Structure 1
Amino acid sequence: MKKRYLITFGVVLFILILDQAVKIWIKTSFSYDDPSIALIGEWFRLNYVENQGMAFGTQLGGGMWGKLLLSIFRIVAIIAIVYYILKQIKKPEVKLEFLIVSGLVLAGAAGNLFDSMFYDLMFPTYFDPCISYNQVEGSGIWEDCTYYGYTEAVEVRHRGFLFGNVVDMFQFYAHWPEWMPYLGGKQVFPAIWNIADAAISVGVILVLFRQKVYFPKQ
């Protein structure tokens, strides 16, 4: 039983540390307007950006309340996943592989929540009102932004605990063949993502494809 706890939460801790190490390095070493960097050929690139929403930059509403609701949803989801994993660990019939997969989802959710909770507090000087991902129409918070010597007031997002952006950096830069109808020439997967997003995706995909193994019928 102890071994199952150590392995499951060891995986969670490893993913969390790796995710945060990469994010902090990216945030403190790259700028928004830096060109993307080829990591593997031209199809897998590093492209720094931040988003105010969920995995792969998707949104849950807009403005202060949408962001706050999203952060609260993440907290509730993480508590529920931890409770579920703790119950499953105690069941000897539950496979260790399933516990590890559940740990991937937990680590991914916690990794992105950490950004929202603490990055505005950890990196206050990195906030730039002129960058699009820091601007929210209707926020009521105005700051001056200078574009090419011209200054104008822009509405920026709320900042502080639970309001931070999530840091993303990886992008597949592959395109569908031109001969394909509707999809020809478009990017196969245009979203920019991070290690936490990847952990959630891998965990969910494994549960879907191996559900007969994880949940055998009695």
Structure 2
Amino acid sequence: MKYRHIIIIVVLILLVDQVLKFWIKTNMTIAEQFPVISDWFFIHFIENEGMAYGLKFGGEFGKIALTLFRLIAVVVGFFYMKKLVKEQYHNGLLVCGALILAGAAGNLIDSMFYGMIFSESTRYEVAQFMPAGGGYGTFLHGNVVDMLYFPLFDGTFPSWIPFWGGEHFVFFRPVFNIADASISVGVIAILLFQKRFLTRKTDEPGGAIETGAIVDDTRQVM
């Protein structure tokens, strides 16, 4: 796999992620939803100020720190992916790395620019793109747009379960976006196939070397 293939994967995921987010922002109000497939897949519009799947991190300072961390991670990530391609690591690792990089970049765009280019989304008003009075926030203060909701099943915890007995639950409750899903797929795939993925091609007989393996270069001196 060549480095340009990594760039293509990242760009394609970013396009899908950002087009969907743009449509959501300019067509839906906060908490509005509609079913896509029966009663287990909905488009449900929410925004979050922090991490993936609606998690938050440290208030105002935490948001700026998280956005800057994402920016640094994305920049370093592009250089690191170039290194992995050059060292001929397994294509599976390169694809997963591209997925993670694309997801981080997708949410980074929201955090950096959405506060500047959109008006505020509320329960009663749809956001406007490039409003005359300016956006709802400043640079680095945009909210991440989430919309994918999969309440696969709901029910009530049995009464004998401590603390939660008798309470209603929904699985899967988090609302997320394409960028979050891209990161999750990349990370999970690396964890599942790490033994296969963490290898690189070599010129040695056998064609591949496992990362971290000890190579015996001892040669008999005649």
- TM-score class normalised by the smaller sequence: 0.7 to 0.9
Cα distance in 2 for partners of 1:106, 1:127 equals: 28
Cα distance in 2 for partners of 1:89, 1:185 equals: 48
Counterpart residue type for residue 6 of structure 1: R
Aligned length: 185
Equivalent residues in 2 for 1:119-198 (5 A)?
119-123=114-118, 126-127=119-120, 159-175=137-153, 178=156, 181=161, 182=164, 185-198=168-181
Counterpart residue type for residue 204 of structure 1: V
Counterpart residue type for residue 56 of structure 1: Y
Counterpart residue type for residue 115 of structure 1: D
Q: Aligned-pair distance for 1:116?
A: 0.9
Once the two structures are superposed, what CA deviation does each residue of 1:159-183 show, in whole Å capped at 9, x if it has no partner?
A: 2111000000011112355466458
Is residue 77 of structure 2 the alignment partner of residue 81 of structure 1?
A: yes
Cα distance in 1 for partners of 2:122, 2:101 equals: 32
What is the TM-score with the length of structure 1 in the denominator? 0.78
Instruction: Give the one of 59, 62, 66 matched to 1:66.
Output: 62
Is residue 113 of structure 2 the alignment partner of residue 118 of structure 1?
A: yes
Counterpart residue type for residue 95 of structure 1: H
Cα distance in 2 for partners of 1:108, 1:23 equals: 13
Q: Aligned-pair distance for 1:210?
A: 0.5
Other-structure match for 1:204: 187
Instruction: Give the one of 35, 54, 57 matched to 2:54.
Output: 57
Other-structure match for 1:16: 14
Other-structure match for 1:105: 100
Cα distance in 1 for partners of 2:31, 2:53 equals: 19
**Distance change in 2, residues 1:190/1:90 (3 Å):** same
* Contact 1:120–1:164 (Cα < 8 Å) also in 2: yes
- When the two chains are superposed, the root-mean-square deviation of aligned CA atoms in Å is 2.1
**Distance change in 2, residues 1:202/1:97 (3 Å):** same
Q: As a proportion of its length, which structure holds more helix?
A: 1
Cα distance in 2 for partners of 1:177, 1:48 equals: 23
Look up the SS of the partner of 2:2 in the other structure: helix
Cα distance in 2 for partners of 1:77, 1:205 equals: 19
* Contact 2:106–2:179 (Cα < 8 Å) also in 1: yes
Q: Aligned-pair distance for 1:95?
A: 1.3
Look up the SS of the partner of 1:187 in the other structure: strand
Greater Rg, structure 1 or structure 2? 2
Cα distance in 2 for partners of 1:14, 1:101 equals: 14
Once the two structures are superposed, what CA deviation does each residue of 1:62-118 show, in whole Å capped at 9, x if it has no partner?
A: 12x1111110110111122112101001012x1122111100000000000001111
Other-structure match for 2:206: none
Once the two structures are superposed, what CA deviation does each residue of 1:128-161 show, in whole Å capped at 9, x if it has no partner?
A: 5889xxxxxxxxxxxxxxxxxxxxxxxxxx8211
Look up the SS of the partner of 1:186 in the other structure: strand
Other-structure match for 2:219: none
Instruction: Give the one of 24, 39, 44 matched to 1:26.
Output: 24
Q: Aligned-pair distance for 1:207?
A: 0.7
* Contact 2:14–2:106 (Cα < 8 Å) also in 1: yes
What is the TM-score with the length of structure 2 in the denominator? 0.77
